[in-house]
Amino acid sequence: MKSEGVRLTAEEMGLINIVENLTGARCRDCLIDPETGRVTFIVEEGDLRLALGKRGSKVRLLRKLLKREVDFLEYAPSPEKFIVKSLAPAKVKEVRITERPNGDKLAVVTVEPRDKGIAIGKNGRVIERARKLARKYFQISHIIVV
């Protein structure tokens, strides 16, 4: 059940196959960070618990098996909910999506002041992942955290 327009490489399809067989969760997509090798799997709504396993047991198993860091995100059909989920565990107060005159979509995300660092992540890793996924699924070109 892959979404329209999402193209996967052979490596991504292989990783998704491993995750689906091991966890029973339905994977929608997979994002590999080219710098760190970290893999983020986007699972269908409602499948996050299956993917994580009891107390994160399946995540630990996948990390050992794949020999890389692994994250899971749950898909949401609305861009606002998806952005909130992609920035967790940061506490998001509001997500406003606006369209610029040139047609670009922009998401302005308001977070609790103490969670701004969590939303951005080390070296901007979290916000960059959220940007890539928001662009891929909802054609949102920029995310600004305030």
CATH number of the domain within which 141 lies: 3.30.300.20
The pairing of strands 92-99 and 105-111 is: antiparallel
| 94 found inside a domain | yes
User: For residue 2, what pLDDT is reported?
Assistant: 41
In a domain, residue 2? The reply is no
Residues 64 and 121 occupy one common structural domain? no
Same domain, yes or no, for 63 and 100?
A: no
Tell me what pLDDT residue 35 has. 87
**How many separate domains does the chain show?**
2
pLDDT higher than 70, residue 127? yes
Asked whether residue 109 falls in the same domain as residue 69, the answer is no
The per-residue pLDDT for range 38-63, each reduced to its tens digit, is: 999 999 999 999 999 999 999 999 99
DSSP track, 46-99: T-HHHHH-GGGHHHHHHHHHHTS-EEEEE--SSHHHHHHHHHTTS-EEEEEEEE
To the nearest whole percent, how much of the chain has pLDDT over 70? 96
pLDDT for 1-47, tens place per residue? 344 556 888 999 999 999 999 999 999 999 999 888 999 999 999 99
Mean pLDDT score across all residues of the chain:
93
Q: What is the pTM of this model?
A: 0.88
User: What's the CA angle centered on 10, arms 7 and 11, to 5 degrees?
Assistant: 105
